[in-house]
A = this chain, B = another copy of it.
Amino acid sequence: MLNERFLKQIDFITEIDKLKNIFRQNVIIEGRRSENDAEHSWHMAVMAILLSEYAPEKIDVLKVIKILLIHDLVEIDAGDTFCYDEKGYLDKAEREQKCADRLFNILPKDQAEEFLNLWREFEEVETPEAKFSACLDRLQPSILNYNTEGHTWQKPGVNKEKVLKRNMIAEEAVPTFWEYITEVIIKDSVAKGYLKE
């Protein structure tokens, strides 16, 4: 017998199909169309499998993957906020909290709590898993920008200083990522004109 619990889970699974329509600022490499949050989340989850060895302390890879798979779900109502849009950031937390309250509560109570906690953990950036996830959330779009002649970095107001600041969390949290982002991606992008000095 199909119970209420299963049907709630299916309702949630159906609802989150909407993440495939939430478009980000960066584009995918071939075809240069905007990437959506579902694709971004998938890409980072695979990166977590491959790159967890670079976390300086032991991390729970399953937890990192869960965080990455669900961290952008709140954008279903709140939309994507461009990371260099200072005005957009003013009410980002409020918009996202409102979506979290609606969306996660479609789930049975225990799973609503689990997802809410995973999302909060990501937002608070305090645990090793949240810090590692945050670093992947910088590295993944950096790789796409690097391979699309700095697509997002060509937008008004973006320069090397801002990109460095955005990625700075990796300096301590995942030094290998920081070295790659600064010494390869940013250095080469400035040299090639993908990113303003």
Contacts A20-B39, A28-B21, A46-B70 given; does A143 touch B180 at CB 8 Å: no
Of the candidates B2, B9, B70, the one whose C-beta lies within 8 Å of that of A179 is B2
Whether, in the assembled complex, A36 has its beta carbon less than 8 Å from a beta carbon of chain B, the answer is: yes
Specify the main secondary structure of chain A where it touches its partner.
helix
Counted per complex, copies of this chain come to 2
Chain A residues with a Cβ under 8 A of chain B: 1-2, 6, 9-10, 12-14, 16-21, 28-31, 35-36, 38-39, 41-43, 45-47, 49-51, 54, 61-62, 65-66, 69-70, 107, 111, 143-144, 147, 176, 179-180, 183-184
Contacts A62-B62, A62-B65 given; does A31 touch B41 at CB 8 Å: no
Docked pose: A111 CA to B111 CA in angstroms: 32
Instruction: Quote the shortest CB–CB distance from A4 to chain B (angstroms).
Output: 13
Q: A20 contacts B28, CB within 8 Å?
A: yes
Instruction: Quote the shortest CB–CB distance from A31 to chain B (angstroms).
Output: 6
Residue pairs across A and B with Cβ atoms less than 8 A apart, 11 shown, are A2-B183, A9-B51, A10-B180, A13-B143, A14-B143, A18-B29, A20-B28, A42-B42, A45-B45, A45-B65, A46-B70
